[in-house]
Structure 1
Amino acid sequence: MKTLIRTLAAALALAAGFGGNAMAADDYPTKPIRMVVPFPPGGSIDMVARLLGQKLSDELRQPVIVDNRPGASGNIGMDLVAKSPKDGYTLVMAPFSLATNAHLFQKLPFDPLKDLAPIIRVADQPNVLIVNTNKVAAKTLPELVTYLKANPGKLSFGTSGIGNPQDLSARIFMSATGTDMVNVAYKGGAPALADLVGGHVDLMFETSPTAVPYVKSGKLKALAVTSDKRLPSLPDVPTVAEAGIPNFKAVYWMGLLAPGGTPPAIVQKLNAASQKVLSAPDVQKQLTEISLYPAGGSAAEFGAFIRSESEFYAKLIKDLNIPQQ
């Protein structure tokens, strides 16, 4: 009889737990949501997080507050979210380094494929090769390659950390051209850009949303874009492939995730709200205007995409002999 009572009690508790989760998902959200950005303010991922956060606030009828937690190629912010309560109130706008860091760091404090729950792929972005014209005399990409081959190790490039888009694009470029440059890593794209404008580094493969305004203002010069087609915002700037390096393409992504184990109903609610926001013509226009390609899709599709990206970059990082940190 005691065994039967314990069994019935356990069953009732389990049922109550499922009901509680369902009820929580139905009521969600009932308080502000924190969206962690694992880079400093001012970069492209921060720009997109603030746009999406503002629109999600309207859609979910709760404030979505952006919280910048930079450092360690995004690992500090992503780890914070991975260890947060699994209730949908702490999210992360993660960069594509979510798929690369496991192959770049000897040990991570979290498992990128298990400890974070994919919600939606938000946008894709190419990089723009930009130079400080006071430090770099080359006016075209072929001229830059010629100079680099004659002066190995003389020019420096800024990045937001090893394995991030700026870093990988530069490494792929050096491998494709047989050139060598000095890598200067920063905590984010914004401080790297500031030093590029100031002449402390010579060039960058910077993300398109933050690079384009500097090019249009005349502060920096664009030599090429890393996508397979020209950017509408920079129609006169060739792709790297057009400029003489065939089959070169480097397009990166960012996406929204929750702590692993977040109830599927909450993930689905966030996915549906985000999909609605990303499908809105005004949001698509704003993303396109800052040289991003709106993405979208289901949580399952985003999860499968992250796994495939992880496999792809594991091979690329090995082929490029990028040392682990």
Structure 2
Amino acid sequence: MRTLHRREAAAALLALPALALGRPAAAQNSRPVRVVVPAAPGGAIDVIGRIYATRLSEKTGSPWVTENRSGANNTVGAAEVARSAPDGKTLLINADIQLMAKRVMRAVPYDPITDFTPVARLATAPLVLVGNPAGTPNGDLGALVAAMKAAPDKFAFANSALGSMGHLSTESFKRRAGLDTLVVSYRGTAPALTDVLAGQTALMVAPLGSALPHLRADRLRAFAVFSPNRSAQAPEIPTTAEAGMPDLQFTLWYGLWGPKGMPAEVVNALNAAVREVGAEPAIRARLTEQGADPVDEDAAGFARFIGTEAERNGRVAQEAGIEPE
């Protein structure tokens, strides 16, 4: 593991203490922070990542440049960050899929947990089962399951990526409902949802924020949210528990990582900055528009959450028969 010398760490922190001290001008001459989003533009990871990156750039006075590096189930962009110097100038914004890389792919050039430094969990968001109105029944979740059992070939699922929370919840739903239905994986939420809207695939378990504009325009039909409670953004959509599947609960989350070996002072400064941004009413409102809620959690708490989540997701993947491809 590479350890930064004090001089290097001080340079890396140039932009960050300015935030806490209210002196963004001190950061003006620092080099930009490169934020890698390993998913396609327009999806939930991209939108939520840019909300944070834009505001952090404004607050620190140092440019935060967001780059989309999609492909291979979000591993292309993640691999770039894993290879970067741990100086706080190259960061990864990804979702829960970050933990699943080796469970869905045989050749991954990094360890999704040990080769990264957890910095902050940004936000959480509900998942919703949606369908194209022309290709799904106008009824509740029970009516959908009955139609799928009667004609399984008519009801393929779109999936944002192998190993995503949407993928895990889709496979769990299929198993609990006794369905054998095709799941088609895409390179991100946006292209997957586009095909559902076009009727190329009938169904998707999607981030609520991504689906909301289409639900309100009647371009999509909602069947259930995979949360313990109904969402304040769409209270008319019942939960899976209300539909008779109480153990079918999955929540999306989004996080910020750096390469392994980042100095604690850099991690803590970044974490504090993220939490300050997440507490701002304007940012909370923008996240609400995406069906998401900010998370107020220190870096150690995020690391503990990752450990628990990785164990849970591995168990779900095993139960669903998800194997590396």
TM-score (norm 2): 0.91
> 1:144 is matched with which residue?
144
- 1:243 deviates by 1.7
How far, CA to CA, are the matches of 2:318 and 2:198 in structure 1? 34
- 1:4-83 equivalences in 2 (<5 Å): 18-28=5-15, 30-83=30-83
Q: Distance in 1 between matches of 2:315 and 2:128?
A: 24
Deviation string for 1:52-92 (max 9, x for gaps)?
Answer: 01110112111111101111111111111111122211111
Whether the 8 Å CA contact 1:21–1:263 is kept in 2: the answer is: no
Amino acid at match of 1:89: K
Contact 2:8 2:87 in 1 (8 A): no
For residues 195-251 of structure 1, give each alpha carbon's deviation from its aligned partner in whole angstroms, at most 9, with x where no partner exists.
Answer: 111110001101111011110111111111111111112111101111222222111
Q: What is the CA–CA distance in structure 2 between the aligned matches of 1:139 and 1:161, rounded to whole Å?
A: 28
User: Conserved in 1, the CA contact under 8 Å of 2:119 and 2:256?
Assistant: yes
Whether the 8 Å CA contact 2:161–2:187 is kept in 1: the answer is yes
Cα deviation, residue 25, structure 1: 4.2
Query: 117-126 vs 135-144, which deviates more?
Result: 135-144
Q: Distance in 1 between matches of 2:192 and 2:62?
A: 34
- AA paired with 1:277? V
Which residue of structure 1 aligns with residue 301 of structure 2?
301
For 1:262-317, what per-residue CA distance to the aligned partner results, in whole angstroms no more than 9, with x for missing partners? Answer: 22211111111111101112212221232112113111111111121111111111
CA distance in 2, matches of 1:217, 1:267: 42
**Matching residue of 2:285:** 285
User: Are residue 275 (structure 1) and residue 275 (structure 2) matched?
Assistant: yes
Distance 2:202 2:78 in 1: 30
Q: Does 1:207 align with 2:194?
A: no
**Matches of 2:114 and 2:11 in 1, distance apart?**
23
Q: 1:165–1:207: 8 Å Cα contact kept in structure 2?
A: no
Partners in 1 of 2:34 and 2:9 — Cα distance?
22
Which amino acid is the alignment partner of residue 304 of structure 1? R
Other structure's SS at 1:124 match: strand
TM-score (normalizing by structure 1)? 0.91
Task: Confirm whether residue 224 of structure 1 aligns to residue 224 of structure 2.
Answer: yes
Whether the 8 Å contact between 2:12 and 2:88 is mirrored in structure 1 is no
Cα distance, 1:122 vs. partner? Answer: 0.5
AA in 1 matched with 2:63: P
Q: C-alpha distance in 2, partners of 1:22/1:260? A: 14
The one-letter code of the counterpart of 1:91 is L
Looking at structure 2, the residues matched to 22 and 128 of structure 1 have their Cα atoms a distance apart, in angstroms, of 43
Give the Cα separation in 1 of the matches to 2:315 and 2:169: 15
Matched, 1:188 2:175: no
RMSD in angstroms over aligned alpha carbons? 1.6
Match of 2:127 in 1: 127
Q: 1:48 to 1:204 in 2, by over 3 A?
A: same
How far apart are the structure 1 equivalents of 2:171 and 2:303?
27
TM-aligned CA distance change 1:22 to 1:85, over 3 Å: closer
**Largest Rg, 1 or 2:** 1
Secondary structure of 1:305's partner?
Answer: helix
Consecutive unaligned residues in structure 1, runs of 5 or more: 1-13
| Alpha-carbon distance in 1 for matches of 2:106, 2:68 | 25
Q: 2: CA distance between counterparts of 1:146 and 1:173? A: 13
Tell me the secondary structure at the aligned position of residue 234 of structure 2: coil
Give the SS at the match of 1:316. helix
1:107 CA displacement: 3.2
* Paired residue total: 310
Aligned to 2:53, what secondary structure does the other structure show?
A: helix
